Structure 1
Amino acid sequence: MDIRLNGKTALVTGANRGIGAHMAQALAAAGANVALHTRKPREDVNDQAQRLADDYGVDTTVLSGDLSEQRTIDEMFEAFDRHFGQIDILINNAGFENAHALEDMPFEDWQQLLDVNLSAPFLCSQHAARRMKKAGSGGVIINVQSIHDDVTRKGVAHYSVAKAGLKMLTRAAAVEWGEYGIRVVGLSPGAIQTDINREDNEALGIDNMNSWIPLGFIGETGDVSGVTVFLCSEQARYITGTTLYVDGGFMHNVMRYDMRPDHDLGV
């Protein structure tokens, strides 16, 4: 199936590396014009945007700013308007995580993570929905969540809370904005190998991680970006208010020992 997004205009937050960078590339490859957001101005992101324009014949631009600040988000959308004039697709991808024991977690770390992972998608979605509603042609908002919107881990309670909140925001926004033709969909990756997490995955042990995933392997960024293009297309026109898990079944295999007859317990 050759999915085309010609004439559509997209904004991808956190597009400088990892899953976000590959989402931006996949959207451009499908014919969409793309704004790539990065937290700080980066020459390599400017080069990335130019390569997408040259390779796929689309219009691209780079927007930068700290999404934990509401004023920055306001200014980012004003800059988007000046360059493109219309938004059809918003990918709320920007986010981060750090680790703390729950009883020792500093409130400022809790707050900063929720600001970027939950409040920023809320504010960006508001901006996008207002513009989509005014244009009258609908649109698509993809919230990049995580399997930890449903399955928690020790040490990252704030991350799980933020992603669970984003999952409910996806449902609420889909219900409110459906009458304007705006679809809102959650996309929750599992273990995906990127340039950001490669060292952490290797420290955990690739063989260990593969054994925890029912399909038997860590995913790649293309497994997420390809689904993103589909969800933004007319082929997915009846999909809204739900979350698609791209995780190889990882979230359904949290018990690491195997009780089946004739199998090692794995402990």
Structure 2
Amino acid sequence: MEKVAIISGASRGIGYETAVKFAEQGYRLAIMAREEHDLLKVRDAIEGRFGTQVLVLAGDLAEPSYWNAVVETTVARWGRIDVLVNNAAWRTIDTLKTIPLDDWERTVRICLTAPAFLTKYVAAVMERQQEAGVIINISSVMAQRAGGYSPAYIACKGGIESLTYEMATCYGRDGIRVVGVSPGNVQTAMSGDYQDVKGNNISKQLEAEMNEMTPLGRAATPGEIADLIAWLASDQASFITGTTILADGGFSHNFNSYASKKLQFPKAF
């Protein structure tokens, strides 16, 4: 029987590449994002390339009715769900000094509450199937390495990691694994919208700074993160649950920039 995966934020970046990776493995896909026309492009590309079936489920993750509708529609179409990837995110770029309450609450609704209740509804389906299921939550190194901006997003990423451990504990005896993935700098649209006070895009400068702090010296591609997600969903990772896998090129455990290292040890670095 063909397996079924639900992927949120599937219209671009990590979500899109994850959809491609699962399609390569023969999964039927239910893909989620806000804009239907973007999802239709993804569906056409995947169905044309792999021949797998793709269900387009456009909607606003801030709306609770959308969460259950996604699960019910997927089950009505294929009768089962094997994998859920909670990838979608939304955030503003400001500080706690300036963030409006509406933006805070929308971020929390999309980045933390929606994954929690999508998991709740999907896990109920997995329990009825009495077969192994996998839920993967996408976190961020910013859960542990705060930058002083996007405070709601950072709080949600810390929350989704803690929630991953809670979910794994709650559903483990039902054969459901729950794993977090914590990417570092990744080349996506969300990493390309940083501006200075004059409105100039400074994303390249910030990426260069991150690269200076990263032992591998570069950002990840969305495909590299998708490879990890697909592996964690596979039977090869059958004993991995209740943890968050770091995929940041060494960034989190490096102390200082390579420019600083070269000042001390120019021949070594």
TM-score, normalized by the shorter chain, greater than 0.5: yes
Residues 210/261 of structure 1: CA separation in 2 closer, same or farther (3 Å cut): closer
CA distance in 2: counterparts of 1:261 and 1:217, whole angstroms: 21
Q: Does 1:14 align with 2:15?
A: no
How far the C-alpha of 1:254 sits from its partner, in A, is 5.7
1:82 aligned residue? 76
Aligned length: 258
Identity of aligned residues (%): 32
Residues 179/145 of structure 1: CA separation in 2 closer, same or farther (3 Å cut): same
Name the SS of the counterpart of 1:243 in structure 2. strand
How far the C-alpha of 1:196 sits from its partner, in A, is 4.1
1:31 aligned residue? 26
CA distance in 2: counterparts of 1:107 and 1:27, whole angstroms: 37
Superposed CA deviations along residues 98-149 of structure 1, whole A, max 9, x for unmatched, are 1222122211111110110000000100011000001100200000111112
Superposed CA deviations along residues 39-66 of structure 1, whole A, max 9, x for unmatched, are 1321x42132122123223111110111
CA distance in 2: counterparts of 1:116 and 1:206, whole angstroms: 25
Superposed CA deviations along residues 26-82 of structure 1, whole A, max 9, x for unmatched, are 11011111111111321x421321221232231111101111111111222222122
User: Contact 1:26/1:229 (CA < 8 Å) preserved in 2?
Assistant: yes
Alignment of 1:36-75 (within 5 A): 36-42=31-37, 44-75=38-69
1:157 aligned residue? 151
CA distance in 2: counterparts of 1:262 and 1:195, whole angstroms: 36
**TM-score normalized by the length of structure 1:** 0.90
Q: Which one-letter code corresponds to 2:188 in the other structure?
A: T
Residues 205/169 of structure 1: CA separation in 2 closer, same or farther (3 Å cut): closer
Q: Does 1:172 align with 2:166?
A: yes
How far the C-alpha of 1:202 sits from its partner, in A, is 4.3
The worse-fitting range, judged by mean Cα deviation, of 77-86 and 133-142 is: 77-86
**Structure 1 unpaired stretches of 5+:** 1-5
User: Contact 1:17/1:196 (CA < 8 Å) preserved in 2?
Assistant: no
Alignment of 1:1-267 (within 5 A): 7-42=2-37, 44-198=38-192, 200=194, 202-204=203-205, 206-253=207-254, 255-256=256-257, 258=260, 262-263=264-265
1:3 aligned residue? none
How far the C-alpha of 1:258 sits from its partner, in A, is 3.4
Q: Which one-letter code corresponds to 1:17 in the other structure?
A: R
User: Contact 1:91/1:142 (CA < 8 Å) preserved in 2?
Assistant: yes
How far the C-alpha of 1:237 sits from its partner, in A, is 0.3
**Structure 2 unpaired stretches of 5+:** 195-201
2:197 aligned residue? none
Name the SS of the counterpart of 1:185 in structure 2. strand
Q: Which one-letter code corresponds to 1:41 in the other structure?
A: E
The worse-fitting range, judged by mean Cα deviation, of 121-130 and 66-75 is: 66-75
User: Contact 1:148/1:160 (CA < 8 Å) preserved in 2?
Assistant: yes
